[in-house]
Amino acid sequence: MSCYESIFRDALFAGQVGLVTGGGSGIGRCIAHEMARLGAHVVLVGRTVEKLERVAAEIAEDGGSASWWACDIRDEAGVKAMVAEIVAAHGRVDMLVNNAGGQYPSPLAHLSKKGWEAVVATNLTGGFLMAREVFEQSMQTFSRREHRAQGRPGPAIVNIIADMWRGMPGMAHSGAARAGMQNLTMTAAVEWARFGIRVNAVAPGWIASAGMETYDEPMKTTITHLHKSVPLKRLGTESEVSAAVCFLLSPAAAFMTGQTLSVDGGAPLYPNQFPIPAHSNSLAFNGFHRATTPAFLSAHLQSPEDADQT
């Protein structure tokens, strides 16, 4: 048996029902495997039936429990119907992982309205629709008192966003949507706290996920260099993102809500790509005063475009 080797204890999610959007590939597939390994029944959500069937079969082979539902998370009626069917079939939803998403690289100025809307709908509106439906239909199914009587909190929600803390140059549509999702995470956390619902987010940095395969060759070449600008000098793994998600879903995070956990090797903390010497005290930071700029560096204080005009 090739069961997922989770860092968490066996049966952590025993008896729980979890929805993972984008569960048919990459990070979502990994999260689904880990949740199933920890005892949850996992419902995989995505648009491509073959991918969902394959992952559900993998989980079953490993002795876990999974089902799937083909749905575009941007389709409001489809999301409502899906959540209703899942609640009818399983009685409740205990965990929602809003992981489905994606984008394509493009300079901001070249983005079409249609492309912008496709990405914002995928990475913001879809997550909103999923969270709202799980909330609404959980509230209809169990009154607050019943939840309390069973000693069970409302569903825990984790939204997957991205490293967009300094904007997302080359992927403006996705950066804007993910920033929106981070803000939505905070609002939902406060509005739904009184129902015992916790809402948190995980912000992956550059992860060596199956999703990276979806990019074209020039983009893949760029991706092979990304590790150099990560302080930990490597890309992250799908399982490192999954561990953060499972932590936030678990009782270990029972007093956390509205938070975002970054899983990024420290990348946003050190965006400049100049090397740190082995002995850091040899690096003299005197500030960058123009008056003391060595002549050979003065050209680097203006943009190439400005330099061309002089």
Ligand X SMILES: CCCCCCCCCCC/C=C/C(=O)SCCNC(=O)CCNC(=O)[C@H](O)C(C)(C)COP(=O)(O)OP(=O)(O)OC[C@H]1O[C@@H](n2cnc3c(N)ncnc32)[C@H](O)[C@@H]1OP(=O)(O)O
Interface with ligand X, residue 222, by CB under 6 A: yes
Interface with ligand X, residue 211, by CB under 6 A: yes
Nearest residue (CB) to ligand NDP, 24 versus 64: 24
Interface with ligand NDP, residue 155, by CB under 6 A: no
Among 162, 184, 199, 249, binds ligand X (CB under 6 A): 162
Selection from ligand X, ligand NDP, none that 112 binds (CB < 5 to 8 A by kind) is: ligand X
Shortest distance, position 298 Cβ to ligand X, whole Å: 29
Angle CA 263–13–45, to nearest 5: 70
Interface with ligand NDP, residue 160, by CB under 6 A: yes
Range list of β-strands (E), the chain: 17-21, 41-46, 65-70, 95-98, 156-160, 198-204, 260-263
Task: Beginning with the edge strand found earlier in the chain, give each strand of the sheet holding 260-263 in spatial order.
Answer: 65-70, 41-46, 17-21, 95-98, 156-160, 198-204, 260-263
Among 56, 66, 73, 119, binds ligand X (CB under 6 A): 119
Nearest residue (CB) to ligand X, 16 versus 99: 99
Residue type at position 178: R
Interface with ligand NDP, residue 212, by CB under 6 A: yes
Shortest distance, position 210 Cβ to ligand X, whole Å: 8
Interface with ligand X, residue 103, by CB under 6 A: yes
Angle CA 156–38–100, to nearest 5: 50
Alpha carbons 185 and 192: distance in angstroms, whole number = 10
Among 122, 138, 182, 242, binds ligand X (CB under 6 A): 122
Selection from ligand NDP, ligand X, none that 28 binds (CB < 5 to 8 A by kind) is: ligand NDP
Interface with ligand X, residue 105, by CB under 6 A: yes
The neighbour count for residue 50, using CB atoms within 10 Å, is 10
Among 70, 212, 237, 247, binds ligand X (CB under 6 A): 212
Alpha carbons 245 and 8: distance in angstroms, whole number = 12
Interface with ligand NDP, residue 185, by CB under 6 A: no
Alpha carbons 109 and 234: distance in angstroms, whole number = 31
Alpha carbons 148 and 131: distance in angstroms, whole number = 21
The footprint of ligand NDP on residues 65-94 (CB under 6 A) is: 72-74
Among 27, 40, 97, 168, binds ligand NDP (CB under 6 A): 27
Nearest residue (CB) to ligand NDP, 46 versus 64: 46
Interface with ligand X, residue 112, by CB under 6 A: yes
Alpha carbons 30 and 27: distance in angstroms, whole number = 5
> CB neighbours of 170 closer than 8 A, spacing ≥ 6?
105, 106, 107
Residue type at position 111: L
Tokens 């394509």 correspond to 104
User: CA torsion angle for 43, 49, 55, 60 (degrees, to 10)?
Assistant: 70
What are the φ/ψ torsions at residue 32 (nearest 5 degrees)? -60, -45
Among 65, 67, 106, 125, binds ligand X (CB under 6 A): 106
User: Residues binding ligand X: what is the number (CB under 6 A)?
Assistant: 21
Shortest distance, position 206 Cβ to ligand NDP, whole Å: 5
The residue ranges that bind ligand X (CB under 6 A) are 102-106, 112, 114-115, 118-119, 122, 162, 170-171, 206, 209, 211-212, 214, 222-223
The residue ranges that bind ligand NDP (CB under 6 A) are 21-22, 24-28, 46-48, 51, 72-74, 99-102, 122, 126, 160, 162, 204, 206-207, 209-212, 214
